[in-house]
Structure 1
Amino acid sequence: MGRIFEKRKHKMFARFDRMAKAFTRIGKDIAIAVKNGGPSPENNPKLRLAIQNAKGVNMPKDKVEAAIKRASSKEEKDFQEVTYEGYAPHGVPLMVECATDNPTRTVANVRLHFSKNNGSMGNSGSVAFLFERKGVFKFEPAKLNLDDLELDLIDAGAEDIERNDEEIVIYTKFTEFGHMLKFLESKNLEPKSSELQYIPNTTKELSEEQQDEVLKLVEVLEGDDDVQAVYHNLA
């Protein structure tokens, strides 16, 4: 009984950590959007996108409004978006997206995470060629009628559409991301998330033990406050 309780408690804390990380990530997205385009969602497409993604992770409305207000103040820090590259154990390439108010601190921390977990940080361009930057739109199946909209989605830039019981995922080329956003807005369709992601060109098969080594580094990187997302090519 005690072991079952511990497992449930561990899962609960893990879910809380993921939610807290998602709120922090979107808070930074909101800050960057407001600094670049102002606090009005009507006139700021990047802010509209961040607010939409906040809804997708059930971020409370008051937290979203507080983030916009903070970002509008002169005291709020300026966040820079930077991406670092490197290899995890067993030659698995990683792309590490960050949003930071102190790039010197961030690059030092990211380098330390790599070195402490048997990885190696690379120069700009060292692994980026192994990925393609794509738009990724995720929907709950009940909120998107593919039978009616599939052809329109393809016309709007959908390169690939994946469907399972839990979600529908639409992929676009980097250059079609804005076009798809406009199409979805015109149809009043709200995805759970709309993001640009690094999608690997090929995937790598490893043993379970080797995968654990890679995922340990990924988990450490994702736990860093300055890291927004980590991409790899594990199968």
Structure 2
Amino acid sequence: MAGHSKFKNIMHRKGAQDKKRSALFSKLSREITVAAKMGLPDPAMNARLRAAVLAARAGGMPKDNIERAINKAAGSDGENYEEVRYEGFGPGGVSLIIETLTDNRNRTATNVRTAVSKNGGNLGAGGSVSHGFDRMGLINYAAAAGDADKVFEAALEAGAEDVTSSEDGHEIWTATENLHEVAKALEGVLGDAEGVKLAWRPQTQVSVNEADAATLLKLIDTLDDDDDVQTVWGNYDISDEVMEKLG
């Protein structure tokens, strides 16, 4: 249950904290509504909704906004969002999984394909890269939550499967079905998490040089700015040295 992988999700890489608050809340709200529509509108009885609510709380979303997003699922006049996952390759041969929630498949497909093709990548068929990832639960804590030993012990006691600690913070990985319980247990020891979500964890990583990293980050930022794109996952490994050069 140890590990020191340098894998970083785009939502937590350097510079991601300047994401506009309203845009973040919009994406969190959309996920809550879709999760509530797909199952019971009660987080205690709906695992996906529990994860969405935990992520919203971790993102600082007000309780009223969360309740409004859940209640919106019961409305007949609200938007109907569809989950569409795109898989493909970015600069340097990295694998990318792009998760979207959309009310217009054609618009989203065009936007995603254009962003990828203009930034050194190409989309593949469904399943073309996801076989190289594991579907897991991910809980993020800031470095200030404690040192590596403290977080490791807390995660072990909570039933997590793996922990990665660095100067940037802590990544705690769990089985998807245990995400809610592990997050709740950790909250009692480490306080509020920075993020709680279902994630795609790469089985192997690809080192990216400076030129490819610059294009890759531009691609990810372009996708992240799209309202329909919920999350971008990849198996890229960008060194701290390269990140510093790119500023």
TM-score, normalised by the number of residues in structure 2: 0.75
Higher helix share: 1
Q: How many Å apart are 1:87 and its aligned residue?
A: 1.3
1:62 aligned to which of 52, 61, 64? 64
Question: Bigger CA drift: 224-233 or 182-191?
Answer: 182-191
Letter in 1 for 2:111: N
2:135 aligned to which of 108, 113, 133? 133
Structure 1, gaps ≥5 residues long? 1-13
1:119 and 2:121 are equivalent in the alignment: yes
Query: Which residue is equivalent to 2:245?
Result: none
Query: Which residue is equivalent to 2:76?
Result: 74
1:179 and 2:168 are equivalent in the alignment: no
1:188 to 1:78, Cα distance in 2 relative to 1, 3 A: same
Query: Which residue is equivalent to 1:110?
Result: 112
2:157 aligned to which of 152, 157, 160? 152
Letter in 2 for 1:59: M
1:18 to 1:201, Cα distance in 2 relative to 1, 3 A: farther
- SS of the aligned residue for 1:72 comes to coil
Q: How many Å apart are 1:146 and its aligned residue?
A: 4.1
Letter in 1 for 2:162: D
1:121 to 1:165, Cα distance in 2 relative to 1, 3 A: closer
Structure 1 contact 114–121 (Cα < 8 Å) conserved:
yes
Query: Which residue is equivalent to 2:207?
Result: 205
Question: Bigger CA drift: 219-228 or 187-196?
Answer: 187-196
- TM-align CA RMSD: 2.8
Query: Which residue is equivalent to 1:9?
Result: none
1:165 to 1:89, Cα distance in 2 relative to 1, 3 A: closer
Letter in 2 for 1:94: L
Percent identical among aligned pairs is 33
TM-score, normalised by the number of residues in structure 1: 0.79
Query: Which residue is equivalent to 2:37?
Result: 35
Structure 2, gaps ≥5 residues long? 1-15, 238-247
Letter in 1 for 2:229: V
2-structure distance, mates of 1:150, 1:214: 32
2:23 aligned to which of 13, 21, 24? 21
1-structure distance, mates of 2:232, 2:152: 33
Query: Which residue is equivalent to 2:228?
Result: 226
1:178 to 1:191, Cα distance in 2 relative to 1, 3 A: farther
1:57 to 1:45, Cα distance in 2 relative to 1, 3 A: same
1-structure distance, mates of 2:156, 2:92: 41
Deviations 1:119-175 (A, max 9, x none): 21111122222322222122355489647644433xx3x221123466432112xxx
Which structure carries more relative contact order (alpha carbon 8 Å, separation 6+)?
A: 2
Q: How many Å apart are 1:222 and its aligned residue?
A: 1.2
Instruction: Give the structure with higher Rg (CA).
Output: 1
